[in-house]
Chains A and B, each alone.
Chain A
Amino acid sequence: MTSIPRSVSALRLPPVLAGYLTALSRGLLALLLPLGLLLLWQLIAEQQWISPQLLPPPTQVLDSLLELYSSGELASNLGISLARVLWGFAAGSAAGLLLGVAMGLSPRVEAYLLPTFKAISLVPVIGWVPLFILFVGIEESLKVLVIAKAVMVPVAINAMKGIRNVPVGFFEVARLYRFSLWRTVRKVVLPAALPSLANGLRLGLSNAWMALVAVELLASSEGIGYLMVYGRQLFQLDLVMATMVVIGVVGLVLDQGLQLLERHLLTWRNSAY
């Protein structure tokens, strides 16, 4: 932990530069393992210790990725997948917020709905797929429904928790000022419950991405999950791996994007007080 920064400061560099160097050294250290693994992987592939059908060389995965990109297949399939996630996320978070806020505000609503809600959330999303298929078929509505279900649960639970944790005093103040329900929600509840809400939305989004891949693997003629299945059917594991990389990067971007948004919103909240 200490050896690198110490040696840097021994050179008596200006602190800003030293900070950069520390960050750089950390970055390099973090790259060591992946680079080493990559080299080992290339070596294994070149020496054919594992047959290339099971472990295609990293260069081939990269080629496959570039080809996906340049042929436009990546953009079109990713676009379809992202649209599905968007709709599913919108529907699921709207339903989740409504449910969560209602249950959070009113103990009566909670008493009536929470047990049912918990029962619904007990069955993992994959368990719902057959039922949904029987009801809506395998069209777009299936994908949206599955994603929405995956999003709704964490959003609702976190919304409820967030509201539950709003200090009672806040409500009393609102009552004192004779705020309407809507105004109470908007001016008092939402700002106070925001961190928990944001947390729920983030969890929801990451669930949405997972559910998308799950449902596209099952029955689809397009989308990023379908690309994987296709790569596998055609015995092109490099395509499968390239798609995994894409799924990982998109997952990261979605997560980081929402985190940025969250930070932005929270600073807004802080300045609002």
Chain B
Amino acid sequence: MISLTRRLFLAGLALAVVAPSFAADLPKVIRLGSPLVGTGNRPVGAGNSFANAQIKGLLEQEFQKDGIKIEWNNFRGAGPALNEAVANGLLDVFWEGDLPAIIGKSGGLKTKLLLANGRSSNLYLAVPPDSPVKSLDDLKGKKVAVFKGTAVQLAAGKVYAKHGLSERDFKSINMDTATGNAALTTKDVDAVWSSSNILSLEDRGVARVVYSTRKDPQAQSLNMQGYVFTTEEFEKKYPEVVQRIVNVLVKEAAWASDDKNRNALFQLWAKSGTPFSAFKRDAEGISQKEVQSPLLDEYFVALVRNSVTEAQKLKLLRGNLDVQGWFEPKYLNNALKSQGLDNYWKPLDAKGNAKL
């Protein structure tokens, strides 16, 4: 009797010791989220190594041997919809643009910022091709579509502020990317703020770009940034999985940063439905190495801080946000070290100058 109890107890103990480590090491599925969708709602993004990983199936390859399923969720509702999914506990690792990420964090989402992923996406303002509009000022009082709650809104707000304008000078209509593009072609709106995917409309002759941050000397402080996150819960449970994901993303960022892969990179992104030529135009004169740098350097921190302040000024944000406590650079640093990329990207100081 006693021996039986003891045996049972020991078996239970053994199970208790073994089972959790069994379960805790590897999840059955990794749920990835991206707010990027291509034309025609294709679940394909572009512009950063996270999108590359999705197009190339890199994470599927990485985790195939462990039998871990990779589940991609691309949200047409973009960042705001992605935040809701995170709040519902439906995502583990995800890419987000600056404003929704900041809104989510200040709204209480328990996330950790793992690496920068696309530091500077250009912002465009497009009008119908036959529109008489030539500049931002011509649009005062007119209907301008902007996808509110996304990085586009914040960048547009920064541009307005720079020109002494505000959202209130326009009729700002909230539309998701597909709806906004459609509304531009049907002339339901006079203009639309957009990321580089608007260039495909320009190629088809149904839109004309009247303003872009592309040639602005301070482009980086106006432009949209992207980050990769994990939830605190997932990080705590599966640190090794997080490390492996970051490894893949960093390796891919290095590939994307290399100028000799430029054409291959844009061809890859063209799978999102925006043509190769558009990406080429978008990135003309811009070094991918700067844009794709995953570093969480002083300059990057300054950019995030700047976005937080701007969002507060535009009343898009409630309360404050402790930026520093949000970063978890451990995984990035490990990845850089293990892949010998320590000195590949040059860290910049808060003003954006190379650190000596």
Contact = CB atoms under 8 A, between A and B. Distances in A.
Interface in A218-257: 219-221, 226, 229-230, 232-236
B55 interface: no
A226 B175 CA distance: 11
Interface string B93-118: 00000001001100111000000000
B107 A236 contact: yes
A53 B108 contact: yes
B107 A53 contact: yes
B13 interface: no
A116 interface: no
Contact of B174 (A133, A226, A235): A226
B173 A230 contact: no
B316 interface: yes
Given A54-B87, A138-B183, A229 B109 contact: no
A137 B149 contact: no
Contact of A230 (B87, B100, B148): B148
B33 interface: no
B210 to A, nearest CB: 20
B188 A221 contact: no
Q: Chain A at the B interface: mostly helix, strand, loop or mixed?
A: loop
Nearest to A50: B87
B147 to A, nearest CB: 8
Given A51-B87, A134-B186, A233 B108 contact: no
B106 to A, nearest CB: 9
A221 B174 CA distance: 7
A195 interface: no
Given A52-B108, A229-B174, A235 B183 contact: no
Interface string A32-69: 00000000000000000001111000000000000000
Contacts of B148: 229-230, 233-234
Nearest to B316: A234
Contacts of A236: 107, 318
Given A230-B148, A233-B80, A235-B107, A219 B175 contact: yes
A162 to B, nearest CB: 40
B172 A137 contact: no
* Top 4 A-B residue pairs of the complex, sorted by shortest distance between their CB atoms: A233-B149, A53-B87, A233-B148, A235-B107
Given A138-B188, A236-B318, 10 more contacts: A53-B87, A138-B183, A219-B175, A219-B179, A221-B143, A221-B172, A233-B80, A234-B148, A234-B316, A235-B103
19 contacts: A51-B87, A52-B108, A53-B83, A53-B107, A53-B108, A138-B143, A138-B173, A219-B173, A219-B175, A219-B179, A220-B173, A229-B148, A229-B174, A232-B80, A232-B149, A234-B148, A234-B316, A235-B84, A235-B107
